[in-house]
Amino acid sequence: MSDQVLEPVFELIEKSEDSLIRLCQDLIRFPTVNPPGNDYQVCVEYIGNRLKNSGFTVEYVRAYGAPGDSAEYPRYNVIARYETGRKGPCVHFNSHIDVVETGDGWTKDPFAADLIDGKIYGRGACDMKGGLAASIIAVEALIKSGVELKGAIEISGTADEESGGLGGVAYLAEKGYFSKDRVDHVIIPEPLNVDRVCLGHRGVWWAEIETFGRIAHGSMPFLGDCAIRHMGAVVAEFEDKLYPAMAARHTSMPVVPEGAKQSTLNINSIHGGQEEIKRTDNAGLPAPCVPDSCRMVIDRRFLVEEDIINVKGEIAGILSDLETSREGFRYEIRDMLEVIPSMTDENAPVVEATSAAIEEILGKKPTLVCSPGTYDQKHIDRIGNLKDCIAYGPGILELAHQPDEYVIVEDMLNSAKVMARATYNLLIKE
């Protein structure tokens, strides 16, 4: 891929540096914090207006009835499509517009989008408004340069990725926006680093386990039955059996970082007994009671080699063994959320096109990776049934959701060139 056809496109991208910076800053300055899902409408209209000026047809889709959708916090999405006028495939860039809460520890204003030493700071700079800005600049340069293209290019800005994507990509996929008659190749500019191609992600199963006991006076606990001690037995079984078994299970998925190359379990929370009040809040003392309920939320991440039925069965087995071995042990387990792992073939067209583009622009072979956590690829794969999907973007993975999150302008420029080249490769091939 060392032809010179795209030289004018790359030149245009370099000349667009100021425009790219302003675009990224404007996007960060919409505080699209989720929850609750703030400022979605103004943000998607900003994206839509910009793309209309570049010749795109723009649609706004509100996810009526999706979790969190309300008159105050409507779940708005934008889908923009550019037709080249020649028959060919469609390349789609999908970015989520929502950001997580800011949290503590910032030394910069999280919504000022300050440019300091070639970095733009702000909540969402890395995850993933920098990626969205780079993809817009990339396709604008392709169109403006006049190079001959076939097929169509789409850009979407979608809601709620950080809370599961039901009001965003899942909703759009249900409505056919991510389907084979419309889209062929999908690039999601999530922050996986400028020189890596992300093929997919591990699976997730969230569940709540509750153990039961019997209330009694705390001075005579032998007259009751302590639900927290029963939960302690569950945790002990996890330590003795589950954690060693998971640690022994490795995957062929190239998950980063290294520690995520195995099955993992996070105990998200445990609560039993009386309402939790910080004792520094001067809320009085607790009354002496034996707790009759204890609840634990678990977050189990699993591998493409594991079946979700076995993942659930392993924990169900531990609980039912305790029911026979431990006196008074009673429990319930409730599913909260499940996502099957997704991994695009490493020889898929979008992987090859993007890898070749990285090699050309950055002069090195890309690393193929998988994400430890999920992102909207799950809906594109499972609902849209589109298998040619990757994540590729300029942000640095480790900065996502952190205080003083930033994106490097040079990385945005380079990734814009990679995105333009990959799009060109995919559009001319068929």
Name the DSSP class of 39.
Answer: T
Report residue 141 CA to chain centroid gap: 27
Closest CA to 48 of 71, 20, 79: 79
DSSP H helices, 264-389, are 308-325, 349-362, 377-382
Q: Is 169 in the site for Zn ion (CB under 5 A)?
A: no
Q: Is 127 in the site for Zn ion (CB under 5 A)?
A: yes
Residue nearest to Zn ion (CB): 127
Total Cβ atoms within 10 A of residue 90: 21
Q: Which pairing describes strands 90-96 and 196-201: parallel, antiparallel, or unpaired?
A: unpaired
Question: Is the Cβ of residue 170 or residue 290 nearer to Zn ion in the bound state?
Answer: 170
Question: Is the Cβ of residue 13 or residue 133 nearer to Zn ion in the bound state?
Answer: 133
Instruction: Write down the least CB distance from residue 300 to Zn ion, Å.
Output: 21
Q: What is the residue type of 174?
A: E
Q: Is 376 in the site for Zn ion (CB under 5 A)?
A: no
CA dihedral of residues 297, 301, 307, 309 (deg, nearest 10): 0
Q: Is 225 in the site for Zn ion (CB under 5 A)?
A: no
Instruction: Write down the least CB distance from residue 400 to Zn ion, Å.
Output: 6
Instruction: Write down the least CB distance from residue 7 to Zn ion, Å.
Output: 32
Question: Is the Cβ of residue 127 or residue 360 nearer to Zn ion in the bound state?
Answer: 127
For residue 234, give the H/E element and its range: helix 227-237
Instruction: Write down the least CB distance from residue 180 to Zn ion, Å.
Output: 25
Q: Is 128 in the site for Zn ion (CB under 5 A)?
A: yes
CA–CA gap between residue 215 and residue 359 (Å, rounded):
66
Closest CA to 421 of 95, 109, 5, 60: 5
Using the rule CB under 5 A, give the single segment among 60-68, 127-135, 263-271, 360-368 that binds Zn ion.
Answer: 127-135
CA–CA gap between residue 270 and residue 231 (Å, rounded):
9
Question: Is the Cβ of residue 120 or residue 290 nearer to Zn ion in the bound state?
Answer: 120
Instruction: Write down the least CB distance from residue 164 to Zn ion, Å.
Output: 12
Instruction: Write down the least CB distance from residue 194 to Zn ion, Å.
Output: 15
169-202: burial string, b at 16+ Cβ within 10 Å, e else: bbbbbeeebbbeebbbbbbbbbbbbbbbbbbbbb
Question: Is the Cβ of residue 190 or residue 388 nearer to Zn ion in the bound state?
Answer: 190
CB 226 within 8 A of CB 213: yes
Instruction: Write down the least CB distance from residue 190 to Zn ion, Å.
Output: 5
Question: Is the Cβ of residue 125 or residue 183 nearer to Zn ion in the bound state?
Answer: 125
Instruction: Write down the least CB distance from residue 369 to Zn ion, Å.
Output: 15
Using the rule CB under 5 A, give the single segment among 126-134, 136-144, 232-240, 248-256 that binds Zn ion.
Answer: 126-134
Using a 10 angstrom Cβ sphere, with 0-12 exposed, 13-18 middle and 19 or more buried, the burial of residue 76 is: buried
Question: Is the Cβ of residue 127 or residue 237 nearer to Zn ion in the bound state?
Answer: 127
| Site track for Zn ion across 178-197, x = CB under 5 A | ------------x-------
User: Which positions from 22 through 81 interact with Zn ion, judged by CB under 5 A?
Assistant: none
Name the DSSP class of 1.
Answer: -
Residues that bind Zn ion (CB under 5 A): 127-128, 190
